[in-house]
Amino acid sequence: MLRIGLTGGIGSGKSTVSTLLAARGATVVDADRIAREVLEPGTPGLDAVVAEFGGGVLTDAGALDRPALAAVVFADDAARARLDAIVHPLVRARSAELVADVPADAVVVNDVPLLVETGQAGSYDLVVVVEADPEVRVARLVTRGLTEADARARIAAQATDEQRRAVADVVLDNSGTREQLAEQVERFWEERVVPALG
Ligand code: ADP
């Protein structure tokens, strides 16, 4: 199995790259999606979050009230660390479960937005970082429905391009067109993935 860790700041184009890699046959494991799954109603994850933060982080229907939880952890690093201590191990365990059955020659792409922030670069054979100019990212995130202020706040809360580049084996530049990105993904597949598979 070739394990690829895919990361990049919000709006850089990770989902777009993982879709292109999936089209080449990679198995994509999406950490954000798993992070939602492990806190669905009825999960031990949600029970643990409620035990830690109280019933105020639930909606009337008993699901996780994400804005309420975000408000609790946003300005409180210790609270965020307690939340991470619940969620990150669950995400890692579920991710491992999802790849337990893939064939030996599979290419597994882990889309991990916070790969650098959570110190996971060492878990992969190749770390791929998607970059785009911050102003381009803001514009794309606004098109995706975020307010400009929200987009900028989220970018500022994440690792910097320099920090991500420091752990990158490959940097994909997505400041240009989708076609230019696709060409880079194609080259990456031919030059780094195919040879690594032997
Ligand atoms: P991430 O997963 O890193 O947050 P996405 O892949 O969702 O980023 O890309 C952010 C937004 O920008 C999406 O709406 C996506 O469709 C769009 N997008 C991605 N790459 C390009 C590009 N090269 N040109 C124009 N829009 C793009």
**83-104 residue pLDDT tens:** 999 999 999 899 999 999 899 8
For residues 93 and 28, give the distance between their C-alpha atoms in angstroms, rounded to a whole number.
16
Q: State whether the beta carbon of 113 lies less than 6 angstroms from ligand 1.
A: no
Q: State whether the beta carbon of 178 lies less than 6 angstroms from ligand 1.
A: yes
Q: What is the pLDDT of residue 13?
A: 97
If one counts every other C-beta atom within 10 angstroms of the C-beta of residue 36, the result is 13
Q: What is the pLDDT of residue 156?
A: 93
Q: What is the pLDDT of residue 49?
A: 98
pLDDT class of 118 with cuts at 50, 70, 90: confident
Element spanning 52, H or E? helix 44-53
For residues 173 and 24, give the distance between their C-alpha atoms in angstroms, rounded to a whole number.
19
pLDDT digits (tens, 9 = 90+) for 119-171: 899 999 999 999 999 999 999 999 999 999 999 999 998 999 999 999 999 99
In 3D space, the residue among 111, 149, 106 whose CA is nearest the CA of residue 128 turns out to be: 111
CA-proximal residue: ligand 1, atom 6 (nearest): 13
Q: For 11, left (φ over 0), alpha (ψ -120 to 50), or beta?
A: left
The SS3 assignment for 116 reads coil
Report residue 109: phi and psi, to 5°: -105, 115
Q: What is the pLDDT of residue 190?
A: 97
Q: Which atom of ligand 1 is nearest to the CA of 175?
A: 23
pLDDT digits (tens, 9 = 90+) for 37-85: 999 999 999 999 999 999 999 999 999 999 999 999 988 999 999 999 9
In 3D space, the residue among 25, 4, 27 whose CA is nearest the CA of residue 101 turns out to be: 27
- Cα–ligand 1 centroid distance for 16 (angstroms): 6
Stated pTM of the model: 0.90
For residues 172 and 74, give the distance between their C-alpha atoms in angstroms, rounded to a whole number.
30
CA 150, chain centre distance (Å) = 18
The C-alpha angle 48, 49, 53, rounded to 5 degrees, equals 125
Q: Which atom of ligand 1 is nearest to the CA of 113?
A: 3
- Cα–ligand 1 centroid distance for 171 (angstroms): 16
Q: State whether the beta carbon of 19 lies less than 6 angstroms from ligand 1.
A: no
- Cα–ligand 1 centroid distance for 178 (angstroms): 8
pLDDT digits (tens, 9 = 90+) for 174-198: 999 999 999 999 999 999 999 999 8
Q: State whether the beta carbon of 174 lies less than 6 angstroms from ligand 1.
A: yes
What domains can you pick out in the chain, each with its CATH number?
Answer: 1-26+107-193 (3.40.50.300), 37-105 (3.40.50.300)
